[in-house]
Structure 1
Amino acid sequence: MSNVTYDAKSTALLFVDPYNDFLSEGGKVWPFIKDIAEEVGLLDNLRTINKAVRDAGIQVVVVPHRRWQPGDYECWCHPSPSQRKVMQGHHFARGEWGGEWHPEFAPQPGDIVAHEHWGSSGFANTDLDFQLKQHGISHVVVVGLLANTCIEATARYAQELGYHVTLVRDATAALQREMMHAAHELNGPTYAHSIVTTRELVEAIPGA
């Protein structure tokens, strides 16, 4: 249970990679995370959090992965294994349905959409830190996909930059249960200030 209170003036929800390929039936990655997503109630929990933070006036920040387009990564010296998968599978392709926002989680007026990240961290080589500082944000709640890659990398980087970091264990998913376990039970406690469920998070948001 979280002992943190999330002040609307200094808190932001970081919604990582809300693409159709991840969250919609027919998406390229959805079949691989569907079992775990349904097991934890991912979509309903994201809906609950999305509504709660907006009702409370908390800043929503979309943290998008690079939308693949022809030529990406092909001439790189050191593309990561994940980047090679994107290169081969054309995940989140620019101009295609899979690279569009899931309709329920598309950015709304007043939301911040950070520059697209090439790797796993939403902070590396983007304007995310700059945007958060310009809006007076000190606390970040990180949700979206995937638990052990972009969520972990973004949240770790946030802690390194001095933000208070909250993970929501049932507002993310992964390819395997072991990856979810590692993200929340082994790795998360080494950097996150709070690891909560959706219910616990909503209870800690004033006015939600």
Structure 2
Amino acid sequence: MNDTQYPTDRTALLCIDPYNDFLAEGGKMWPALSEVATSVGLHANLARIRATAREAGMPIFILPHHRHHAADFEGWAHLTPSQVAAYEYQLFADGSWGGDWYDGFVPDTGDIVIKEHWGASSFANTDLDVQLRQHGITHVIFVGLIANTCIETSARQAAELGYHVTLVRDATAAMSIDAMHAAHEVNGPTYAHAILTTAEVVANLGVEKAA
């Protein structure tokens, strides 16, 4: 078993973009994500790791992407390809079903909802770093979507800022097997302190009763 240690008073679960557009059948991005998501058991693993974090008394941070409006990006000089696509699709459109939290991932009492990020990083132009530091967090476990974009970018920046970073292989998904491979086998090992499965994280947290 991996022996990564998670101090309960200094570890947080960071869940990126748990929106219907990503996770629900009928969501705008679900057709592109469904093959990989289904192959890793994404929904069950997200639910299991979230429940385990609650049982362990770990804080849960929700890191949401900007909910789009029709006038977004007017006058912007340098849109990324991802921003262009998100705008054209009106991904997570404000006030839409797709921009609502996925069932089971509605923020609960005590959860900390971070300011919405406009690009791939949950740190850029948000309050994530100050919220983590004010809560005494040193270890962060990333789950959610998408493995090679928002997860990777946010996790890289967390490492740069001095946090202990864990990626969870089967509590995320991407739009292709190659993208998942790149996130966990090529890029992840250059910055993440641990790259684990949901079962390994749960075992290391040591709170889930044996079945």
* TM-score tier after normalising by the smaller chain length: over 0.9
TM-score, normalized by length of structure 2?
0.97
Report which stretch shifted further, 105-114 or 3-12: 3-12
Structure 1 residue 71 displacement after superposition: 1.1
Q: Per the alignment, in what secondary structure is the counterpart of residue 98 of structure 1?
A: coil
Structure 1 residue 108 displacement after superposition: 0.4
- Deviations along 1:10-29, whole A, 9 cap, x unmatched? 00000000000000111000
- Residue 152 of structure 2 is matched in structure 1 by 152
Q: Per the alignment, in what secondary structure is the counterpart of residue 68 of structure 2?
A: coil
Structure 1 residue 207 displacement after superposition: 2.2
- Residue 79 of structure 2 is matched in structure 1 by 79
2:94 aligned with 1:98: no
Structure 1 residue 34 displacement after superposition: 0.3
Q: Per the alignment, in what secondary structure is the counterpart of residue 170 of structure 2?
A: strand
Aligned mates of 1:67, 1:204 — CA distance in 2:
35
- Deviations along 1:73-94, whole A, 9 cap, x unmatched? 2321000000000110000001
Structure 1 residue 7 displacement after superposition: 1.8
* Matched residue type, 2:143: V
* Matched residue type, 2:183: A
Structure 2 unaligned regions, length at least 5 = none
- Deviations along 1:37-65, whole A, 9 cap, x unmatched? 00000000001101000011001000000
The number of residue pairs the alignment matches comes to 208
* Matched residue type, 2:159: Q
Q: Deviation above 2 Å: which 4+ runs of structure 1?
A: none
TM-score, normalized by length of structure 1?
0.98
| Aligned 8 A contact 1:7 1:206 in 2 | no
- Residue 3 of structure 1 is matched in structure 2 by 3
Query: What fraction of aligned residue pairs are identical, expressed as a percent?
Result: 56
Aligned mates of 1:75, 1:38 — CA distance in 2:
39
Q: Per the alignment, in what secondary structure is the counterpart of residue 205 of structure 2?
A: coil
- Residue 163 of structure 1 is matched in structure 2 by 163
